[in-house]
Structure 1
């Protein structure tokens, strides 16, 4: 109507001087200035009710088609999330259980209103009344058990802001080789479930550093796992693949296990038990039943492993290094028991053996005995008895002098002493003969002591090298991924 009145008033002036087609052009220009663009909402009054009535007439119920003027135009959706809690990490099932809050932003083309005319610059609307993108997390493994939310915000520029909680039970490929000092890298892959890249384009709301900072500030769980880092990437899609591929955003979430519980409950007791087994070598095998003590220690360690079995992760792809640690401890205990059985057999059954072979006497009693600081000292029983016979002969009275013969014949006391001296000499010879007979058994006992000391040294060296190697692997992996 306004355009018609203006055309009549101005028509008289321009009809005489301008051609008719110029008059039509002026009329179209005036109409474009006076009429608002398509999609702009007019409110009868600056109230929420007036804005809601206008929105119902323009956008409510249009949930079947993307909110674009031209369907060839892709809808740009910006995505972000905040990690509120790490609920569980199940290594056996390879599942990462978490709670996140997802933020989605997109624009309704052609929708706008004047904040002054309508009384507000944004309004909350029921989620079911508007078109929403079908954004999913590819790693999802179970039903979302988070509480339902029913509203979203619409800005006066047509920008839609939707945020909703999601209880994410996602698959995660976990490597538990360095358990309990392991670091896991799980991912969240966001993409449209049905709309390809020609229809929906995804982008990041904020840098991933800000996402990590917000997640650390909002974290409500202080359990076994802690959030260490977060990375993100967007795979590139070639133009010819837009109709066959889905636009994707990938977030990588780096988690680190807090190992204190496992160190206290698993590693320290194992180290204590292996230390007790190590110091059991100080027990003399000929006086104490060392084998019974070691057998009791092995049974105790086996019961300990059975009780702590639930704390150990079990997967089919890799064997945790801590299982190697426990197997090594048990193997060393069994080896020490076998070594004790061997030593006791040598020392206690030496009386039934023959002479020690010459090569064994040279190798073990001469060389290895010095190496383990167990060289045998010469005792009175092992010394040459000829010296004692010589000394005994020197103790006899001098019989060369003719005057001494008369004394010996006439003195009964001296004769008695002579008789006692010969008897003592006979006893000494019998004792030396007895010790000479037991010399073979003594060599076997000494051989057992040398082997025991030698195997104890090898036990200490192997134990130290193995433990240091395992702990270096743990610490290097932990520091490298920290």
Structure 2
């Protein structure tokens, strides 16, 4: 007694194909925030439920893996790969936010150093001439000049370090990398899905 293929097409193959279309449509969702990740996890869980239903309707006495089970495993693997890519993209975006925050901190620190240096220079220039003749104040003036020179050298070093980091990773660098990776993965994903579905269709016709 042969089973009708319409049962599997209507109850399993078409719904899983709809879930695949939803997974493809999720590439239109923005990567900022966790909406895209939550959506992909929900779709993956839905395919898992469909796989549990498939285990109930398939005969357990088969000696080989049914083609419909290969179809289910392949779809699940592709959606899981898409989920991993989304996690990687979110990691790259987080790197960009972290690097931008670090650059703002370094810029604020250099500004504070510059303000301290300017303040010391103004205090040195505004001292009365009478007090500058005192030996004690002359020593303090030399000490302030030495500290001021050291602060200027520190400011130059920090500026060079910050500029080198800006040249290496400009603001938005990781975001641009994430967009390129996302675009390349989408093309790869659509290609692999098309090849896999064509393979399943050919195997089904030959069977």
- The alignment's TM-score, normalised by the length of structure 1, stands at 0.28
Per-residue CA deviation, residues 140-173 of structure 1 (Å, 9 max, x unaligned), is xxxxxxxxxxxxxxxxxxxxxxxxxxxxxxxxxx
- Structure number with the higher strand fraction is 1
Q: Which position in structure 1 is the counterpart of 2:177?
A: 447
- Please give the residue correspondences for 1:262-411 in structure 2 after superposition, counting only pairs within 5 Å: 262-287=8-33, 289-315=35-61, 317-353=63-99
Distance 1:317 1:306 in 2: 19
Distance 2:74 2:61 in 1: 20
Distance 2:194 2:70 in 1: 15
The structure 1 segments of at least 4 consecutive aligned residues displaced by more than 4 Å after TM superposition are: 436-439
| Per-residue deviation, 1:328 | 0.6
Say which of 198, 202, 205 aligns to 1:472. 202
Distance 1:463 1:296 in 2: 19
Secondary structure class of the residue paired with 1:262: helix
1:350–1:444 Cα contact (<8 Å) kept: yes
Q: Please, what is the CA RMSD of the aligned residues?
A: 2.5
Structure 2 residues not aligned, in runs of 5+: 101-161
| Per-residue deviation, 1:475 | 1.1
Distance 1:276 1:448 in 2: 21
| Per-residue deviation, 1:313 | 2.3
Distance 2:68 2:5 in 1: 12
Q: Which position in structure 2 is the counterpart of 1:261?
A: 7
Distance 2:74 2:87 in 1: 20
- Structure number with the higher helix fraction is 2
| Per-residue deviation, 1:351 | 3.7
Distance 2:5 2:35 in 1: 39
1:346–1:445 Cα contact (<8 Å) kept: yes
Between 1 and 2, higher relative CO (CA 8 Å, sep ≥ 6) is seen in 2
1:277–1:297 Cα contact (<8 Å) kept: yes
| Per-residue deviation, 1:321 | 1.1
Distance 1:334 1:265 in 2: 22
| Per-residue deviation, 1:267 | 0.5
Q: Does 1:459 align with 2:189?
A: yes
**Across the two proteins, how many residue pairs are aligned to each other?**
144
| Per-residue deviation, 1:282 | 1.1
1:298–1:334 Cα contact (<8 Å) kept: yes
Per-residue CA deviation, residues 91-120 of structure 1 (Å, 9 max, x unaligned), is xxxxxxxxxxxxxxxxxxxxxxxxxxxxxx
Per-residue CA deviation, residues 113-143 of structure 1 (Å, 9 max, x unaligned), is xxxxxxxxxxxxxxxxxxxxxxxxxxxxxxx
1:291–1:340 Cα contact (<8 Å) kept: yes
Distance 1:286 1:300 in 2: 24
| Per-residue deviation, 1:277 | 0.7
